[in-house]
Amino acid sequence: MLPVAGSDERLLADAVAAYARDLAPRIPAAEEAGAIPREVIADLGRLGVLGMTIPEPDGGLGASSVAFALVLEEIAAVWPSLAVGVSVNSGIAEGTIVRLGTPEQKKRWLPRLIDGSGLASFALTEPGSGSDAAALRTTARRDGPTWVLNGRKMFVTNLRYAPVAIVLARVGEMDAHRPHAGITAFLVPTDAPGVVIGRAESKMGLLASDTSPLTLEDARVGADAVLGPQGTAFGAVAMAGLDGGRIGIAAQAVGIARGAIDRAAAYARERRQFGRPIGDFQLVRNALARAQTDISAARLLTLRAAWLKDRGRPFTTEASKAKLFASEMAQRATHVAVQTLGGYGYMREAAVERMARDARATTIYEGTSEIQRLVIARGMLSL
Amino acid sequence: MKILVCAKQTPDSTVRVKVAPDGRSVDAAQITWAVSPYDEYAVEMALERKDADASTTVAVVSLGAARAKDSLRQALAMGCDEAILVSGPGAEALEGLGVAKALAAVAQEAKPDVVLCGRQASDDDQGLVGAALAEALGWPHVATVTKFAPADGGPAGSVNGIDVWKEVEGGHEVWRAPGPVVLTVQKSEKEPRYPSLPGIMKAKKKEIPEKDVASLGIGASLPKPEIVKMEPPAARGGGKIMKDGDAKRTAQELARLLREEAKVL
Ligand SMILES: Cc1cc2nc3c(=O)[nH]c(=O)nc-3n(C[C@H](O)[C@H](O)[C@H](O)COP(=O)(O)OP(=O)(O)OC[C@H]3O[C@@H](n4cnc5c(N)ncnc54)[C@H](O)[C@@H]3O)c2cc1C
């Protein structure tokens, strides 16, 4: 299950790692500017990263979820802001279109999500509905040949780069006993009338990743915008999409932790205090060894969930375990990394400072740690 | 147009090499291998030609150990059409002229319009093979090349001379070679491209034919000079930081140090 050197998965990940390494000098300015340069997204298109998991007949490479997890880890080890954008585009948005899209929808949207001209969005969260996603209030109403959408979506990743957003909205009145009924997914072109992209959020970390509100004011889309069977999107799009997405976020967390701990280890070799490298001190070694073991464990959980997904086996709880463990692990690991660099680790110039802030989001988005525990326990208890 | 690129596998320039305990070789266990940087520019230069004219074909040849296949795969993943490995007993021990003769045998068979070599390899920095290869083929050679293109004129598809841009002091010159030519490459227009993921998967499936160096009829090898000693560069002394805030005094002191201590002025 763990791809060895020379396997297809490792070859692909190593190639992306080589590209990502060379991005490093550009990151501080891009984080400062709060944007991923368009050329970087174009590069990922050219390199075939953005379409790597799309089946070959649909214009992709048909690579496995395992390969994709390894690739996301490599990107996140260098630039977490970029990794989350790729995860949402290629993991959630493309994955959902491949799974549920009509041939026309695939033909219309997949090429634009593969070629590096943009990154797609997935808009579920609302001001009043986060963990309780089924409480969403955005509405969709049929009007002759078109649909009219109204509502407000929050914290939408990639929105500024997105040619299209998958928007979850409710068709018909909310039934308090079956709140998820009626929820329908729409492929909303971001240039459709009535689509308003709000001001980008100012965040703690992931500064180059776009997180913006989306307002739908009588937004009009065609009948061909409905993605998957009407009224089934809570399970078929939101929950299923997030199951896959969680593997991506787990991989991102593994990458962040590894990037931070690699830097801490390099520093512990060089930095001398009391006449020797600080890596000579048992307390420092203990912290690094724990973090390194944590990273390996998280990677195995992540790859296991991906491996199950590749085989068409149920992977919901495995993805939740991976996401829970990896994201919590990344908090500990980045904490150790900052601590190991001492005062230098607290300074903006240190990549570990950025990574500690970036790691923080991983226990929150695509289901908080608490929600992951609910999912895991539900699988155990069937209550 | 048909292009043949000669690419040597050398220790990756980003890896710090260590002298082995015998004091005359590098510690092989520490090494990751890669296409020598100037040869990588040559690959990129060939692919830039292919970008400009899709009918161009690019073959890449490497002479050396069996592991050089990995580097050939890298070149295929970047976009080269085919790859040839020249290997077998004695291949690694060949001196520069022998390498040139072996590559000449490959070139005679492949019949390219242009052969590209890096200007020198990053391991021995001898810079011999490209020029010697031209000699062995009886072809002209142009050095420190930064670009080439087919000269204008002639029916489509035919190669009617090759225009070659080369770097010279303070600018560049354009030379025209009449027919098949060997170019030694200084730098490509763009940085060498990253292999794409589809490129990697395609390259994996490609057959890389192997030629036995002994079958190329290169004759007796010349005596090869032997490395008797390797020394790492002397450790650098600590730098000096001048902390005086006054710019004028700092500049004066810097000038004095450069003159009296470093003796560079
Ligand atoms: C950087 C970033 C990017 C994002 N990108 C996207 C995006 O692209 N698309 C999108 O749709 N959303 C996105 N989100 C939103 C994200 O998915 C939500 O923030 C998340 O699901 C939590 O919802 P909430 O913020 O409303 O918190 P709430 O649901 O209000 O939760 C607040 C706290 O209560 C806890 N809690 C809630 N319910 C329970 C329970 N039943 N049991 C125990 N504890 C509970 C939570 O765990 C949390 O600690 C993004 C968020 C961030 C930070």
B88 in any annotated domain: yes
* B204 → chain A, closest CA residue: A8
Q: A289 is written with which tokens?
A: 């060894």
For the ranges A35-44, A199-208, B243-252, the lowest mean pLDDT is seen at B243-252
- Contact A84 CB / ligand 1 (< 6 Å): no
Using the 8-state DSSP alphabet, how is residue B220 labeled? S
- d(C-alpha A277, C-alpha A63), whole Å: 43
How far is CA B85 from its chain centroid?
16
Express each pLDDT in B85-94 by its tens digit: 999 988 888 8
Q: Who among A12, A19, A61 is closest to B194 (CB)?
A: A19
Per the annotation, the verdict on A318 as an active-site residue is no
Give me the pLDDT at residue B244, please. Answer: 74
> How many structural domains comprise chain B?
2
- d(C-alpha A66, C-alpha A3), whole Å: 8
Please indicate, yes or no, whether residues B248 and B151 belong to a single structural domain of this protein. no
B109 in any annotated domain: yes
* List A32, A353, A366, A370, catalytic entry: A366
pLDDT grade, residue B231 (50/70/90)?
Answer: confident
Residue A270 has pLDDT above 90, yes or no: yes
Mutate to test the interface with A, among B69, B70, B197, B204 (most CBs of A within 10 A): B197
B227 in any annotated domain: no
Cβ <8 Å between B194 and A61? no
pLDDT grade, residue B156 (50/70/90)?
Answer: low
B188 in any annotated domain: yes
Express each pLDDT in A201-222 by its tens digit: 999 999 999 999 999 999 999 9
Domains of chain A, CATH where assigned: 7-114 (1.10.540.10), 121-231 (2.40.110.10), 235-381 (1.20.140.10)
A234 CA to middle of ligand 1, Å?
16
ipTM of model: 0.90
pLDDT grade, residue A252 (50/70/90)?
Answer: very high
Range of the domain at B192: 2-216
Express each pLDDT in A327-357 by its tens digit: 999 999 999 999 999 999 999 999 999 999 9
B247 in any annotated domain: yes
Cβ <8 Å between A15 and B197? yes
pLDDT grade, residue B13 (50/70/90)?
Answer: confident
Residue B8 has pLDDT above 60, yes or no: yes
**A48 contacts in chain B (CB < 8 Å):** 196-199
**A47 contacts in chain B (CB < 8 Å):** 194, 196-197
Cβ <8 Å between B196 and A48? yes
**A16 contacts in chain B (CB < 8 Å):** 197
Q: Which residue blocks in B126-210 are alpha helix, DSSP H?
A: 129-137, 197-205
Cβ <8 Å between A8 and B196? no
Residue A364 has pLDDT above 90, yes or no: yes
Give me the pLDDT at residue B159, please. Answer: 75
Predicted TM-score (pTM) of the model is 0.90
Q: Who among A8, A16, A18 is closest to B201 (CB)?
A: A8
Please indicate, yes or no, whether residues B149 and B246 belong to a single structural domain of this protein. no
CA distance B174 to chain A (A): 32
Please indicate, yes or no, whether residues B48 and B140 belong to a single structural domain of this protein. yes
Q: How many helices (H) and strands (E) does chain A have?
A: 14, 10
Sign of CA dihedral B178, B180, B184, B190: positive
CA distance A266 to chain B (A): 15
For the residues A34-60, what does the mean pLDDT come to?
A: 97
Please indicate, yes or no, whether residues B116 and B181 belong to a single structural domain of this protein. yes
For the residues B30-34, what does the mean pLDDT come to?
A: 88
Q: DSSP string spanning A319-378?
A: HHHHHHHHHHHHHHHHHHHHHHTHHHHTSTTSHHHHHHHHHHGGGTTTS-HHHHHHHHHH
Please indicate, yes or no, whether residues B82 and B181 belong to a single structural domain of this protein. yes
pLDDT grade, residue A1 (50/70/90)?
Answer: low
Atom number, ligand 1, closest to the C-alpha of residue A370: 47
Length of chain A: 383
B224 in any annotated domain: no
- Contact A122 CB / ligand 1 (< 6 Å): yes
Q: Who among B194, B197, B204 is closest to A61 (CB)?
A: B197
B100 in any annotated domain: yes
Cβ <8 Å between A61 and B201? yes
Q: Which residues in A28-145 belong to E strands, given as ranges?
A: 121-123, 139-143
B107, B138 in Cβ contact below 8 A? no
Give me the pLDDT at residue A324, please. Answer: 98
Mean pLDDT of chain B: 91
Please indicate, yes or no, whether residues B179 and B254 belong to a single structural domain of this protein. no
Residue B21 maps to which CATH number? 3.40.50.620
Nearest CA to A243 out of A187, A180, A169, A317 is that of: A317
pLDDT grade, residue B158 (50/70/90)?
Answer: low
Please indicate, yes or no, whether residues B148 and B257 belong to a single structural domain of this protein. no
Express each pLDDT in A51-87 by its tens digit: 999 999 999 999 999 999 999 999 999 999 999 999 9
Express each pLDDT in B47-57 by its tens digit: 999 999 999 99
- Contact A81 CB / ligand 1 (< 6 Å): no
Which of A89, A121, A129, A131 is the pocket-test mutation for ligand 1 (most atoms within 8 Å of CB)? Answer: A131
**A8 contacts in chain B (CB < 8 Å):** 201, 204
Residues B43, B44, B47, B49, Cα dihedral to 10°: -110
Please indicate, yes or no, whether residues B71 and B173 belong to a single structural domain of this protein. yes
Using CA atoms, how far residue B24 sits from A106, B32, B232, in Å, is 60, 19, 11
Cβ <8 Å between B200 and A11? yes
What number of other Cβ atoms are within 10 A of residue B218's Cβ?
20
Please indicate, yes or no, whether residues B245 and B133 belong to a single structural domain of this protein. no
Residue A344 neighbours by CB under 8 Å, 6+ apart: A267, A350
Residue B124 has pLDDT above 90, yes or no: no
How far is CA A103 from its chain centroid?
26
CA distance A277 to chain B (A): 18
Question: Who wins on pLDDT, A303 or B226?
Answer: A303
Give me the pLDDT at residue B157, please. Answer: 61
Give me the pLDDT at residue A264, please. Answer: 98
Give me the pLDDT at residue B223, please. Answer: 76
Q: Who among B197, B201, B204 is closest to A47 (CB)?
A: B197
Would you call A324 an interface residue with chain B, using a CB distance cutoff of 8 Å?
no
Please indicate, yes or no, whether residues B51 and B8 belong to a single structural domain of this protein. yes
- Contact A88 CB / ligand 1 (< 6 Å): yes
Give me the pLDDT at residue A377, please. Answer: 96
- d(C-alpha A34, C-alpha A210), whole Å: 8
**A39 contacts in chain B (CB < 8 Å):** none
Mean pLDDT of chain A: 96
Residue A271 has pLDDT above 70, yes or no: yes
Please indicate, yes or no, whether residues B198 and B254 belong to a single structural domain of this protein. no
Residue A227: in which H helix or E strand, if any?
Answer: strand A226-227
Give me the pLDDT at residue A3, please. Answer: 80
Please indicate, yes or no, whether residues B152 and B250 belong to a single structural domain of this protein. no
Give me the pLDDT at residue B211, please. Answer: 95
Express each pLDDT in A84-117 by its tens digit: 999 999 999 999 999 999 999 999 999 999 999 9
Nearest CA to A157 out of A202, A199, A237, A212 is that of: A212
**B198 contacts in chain A (CB < 8 Å):** 48, 61
Would you call A52 an interface residue with chain B, using a CB distance cutoff of 8 Å?
yes
For the residues B7-16, what does the mean pLDDT come to?
A: 89
A294, A332 in Cβ contact below 8 A? yes
How far is CA B57 from its chain centroid?
19
